[in-house]
Structure 1
Amino acid sequence: MVKFEQIKGFIFDLDGVIANTSLYHGQAWHQLADELGVTWTEDLANQLKGVARMDSLNLILKAGGKENDYTEAEKEKLAAKKNENYLGLLDSLSQDDILPGMKEFIEDLSAHHYLVSLASSSKNSPIVLKKLDLAKYFDGKVDPATLTHGKPDPEIYVRGAEVLNLKPEECIGLEDAIAGVKSINGAHETSLGIGDPKILNEADLNFNDTSEVTLENIKKAMD
């Protein structure tokens, strides 16, 4: 692992890392699964974490044995319907939805002149950051529409470093999902997993909760 002193930038996932929007995503997918007659399970919900929209839809269809029941055009309509459900749920989003300690951590990064970018699979991430009043702290954002591959492919985190003009080894990526941690590791960046260390056991650094994520704690963990 690189030394803390080498780090110049932080690359954030959004859902489940910065804010509780993962809850809204789950509710929106659950609504669609119910409409499609696919049984919603905790295992299925976990599989969708950090995964791009169309990939998530395909996982739901596969879980219900319906992967061959829809054309690509029909799948696009289903994904759009999920997004409408999600945007409706986002109407109530506010700064109260920022996860514990994350606003303070992001502000601290800015105060110490670290560069910050967003590597979210969600096309709605700019809307979310604006509602949370955090957009001003981000020096760059990866547009998921420009990506060829979704997480766990490393492309999004490679791009997350590029938009900051930093080398991969100069960056720490923050994730709460297995697919995201694999993406960070594949990009040869330092991975910081937030959540159960038994599940996120491939992460270079691990914190059980967002409230533990501070520059001081990261430095201690890396030294």
Structure 2
Amino acid sequence: MPIKAFLFDLDGVIVDTAIYHYQAWKRLANELGFDISEEFNEQLKGVSRTDSLDLILAHGNLTLPDEEKAQLATQKNEWYLELVSRMSSDDILPGVAQFFSQVRKANLQTALGSVSKNAPLILERIGMIDVFDAIIDGNKISKGKPDPEVFTKGAAELGVQPDECVVFEDAVAGVEAGKRGGMFVVGLGSPDVLAQADLVAPSLQDLTVDEVLAKSGR
């Protein structure tokens, strides 16, 4: 089947808000009496807010009731929003604008597939809210990555089949989600970390649409 759509994760692909997530989670952990490192934070990439909190609490050997966990997740999000509210088009990663220009020229549909409930806000801040034909975020899914729901819903909203899609991801959980969804997956980052991806490049700046279509073999 020919490729008809490109599906993109947000964090680490279009923008890099990982540092803001890390700063907010670190602040939360510190207030709970322990710390998290940047190395530990790598485990949280592509993971939902609730699941990230569970990993952090386990790291700190804490068990809390659901009501308190919900309050903590809300507090973390408020700190995170304070940081991302300052974002602008200057925060778009290098090569993204050029790559999307090629996507449009190739008449490919686009969807965002992010577990972040703040994805629309970020897209508005960076001026890319109208770039996507479909936006699937944490408000539209019930299962986080590595479950493929965020991408299969994106394909469904675009009216295409999974094997007609290419997913662009920077996280292990996201790569697994794309593969489980039956899609060709481009990993953006380290080949050692994203070994499950069908094609790996450092970033969108290092790819062309023609190259991706050729490598997908579809």
| TM-score of the superposed pair, with normalisation by structure 2 | 0.95
Across the aligned residues of Structure 1 and Structure 2, the Cα RMSD in angstroms comes to 1.4
CA contact (8 A) 1:38 1:60 kept: no
Letter in 1 for 2:38: E
Counterpart CA distance in 2 for 1:163 and 1:115 is 11
In 1, the alpha carbon distance for the partners of 2:141 and 2:213 equals 32
Structure 1 segments unaligned to the other structure (5+ residues)? none
Percent of paired sites with the same residue: 41
Residue correspondences, number: 217
Q: Distance in 2 between matches of 1:160 and 1:76?
A: 27
User: 1:8 is matched by which residue type in structure 2?
Assistant: K
The residue number in structure 2 matching 1:115 is: 109
Letter of the aligned partner of 1:93 in structure 2? M
Q: CA deviation at 1:189?
A: 0.4
CA deviations over 1:75-104 (Å, ceiling 9, x no partner): 111001111111100122111111110121
Post-superposition shift, 1:220? 4.3
Contact 2:147 2:177 survives alignment (8 Å): yes
Structure 1 counterpart of 2:53: 57
Q: Which residue of structure 2 lines up, in the alignment, with residue 124 of structure 1?
A: 118
Ranges in structure 2 where 5+ consecutive residues have no aligned partner: none
The letter of the residue matching 1:33 is: A
Q: Structure 2 counterpart of 1:189, which letter?
A: M
Q: Are the counterparts in 2 of residues 192 and 205 from structure 1 also a CA contact under 8 Å?
A: yes
Match of 2:43, as an amino acid? Q
Cα shift readout 1:165-211 (whole Å, capped 9, x = no counterpart): 11000000110000000000000001110000000000011102231
- Is the contact made by 1:38 and 1:61 (CA closer than 8 Å) also made in structure 2? no
1:42 aligns with 2:51: no
Given that residues 177 and 200 in structure 1 are in contact (C-alpha distance below 8 angstroms), is that contact kept between their aligned partners in structure 2? yes
How far off is 1:137 after superposition?
1.2
Alignment-derived partner of residue 195 in structure 1: 189
Contact in 2 for aligned 1:117/1:160 (Cα 8 Å): yes
- Asked if 2 retains the 8 angstrom alpha-carbon contact of 1:119 and 1:141, the reply is yes
Aligned to 1:27: 23
Aligned: 1:102 with 2:96: yes
Moved over 4 A (4+): none
In 1, the alpha carbon distance for the partners of 2:55 and 2:132 equals 31
TM superposition score normalised by structure 1: 0.93
Task: Show CA shifts across 1:117-156 (max 9, x none).
Answer: 1110111100111111111110001142232211111111
Counterpart contact for 1:110–1:137, Cα < 8 Å: no
Q: What amino acid is aligned across from residue 120 of structure 1 in structure 2?
A: S
AA matched with 2:46: G
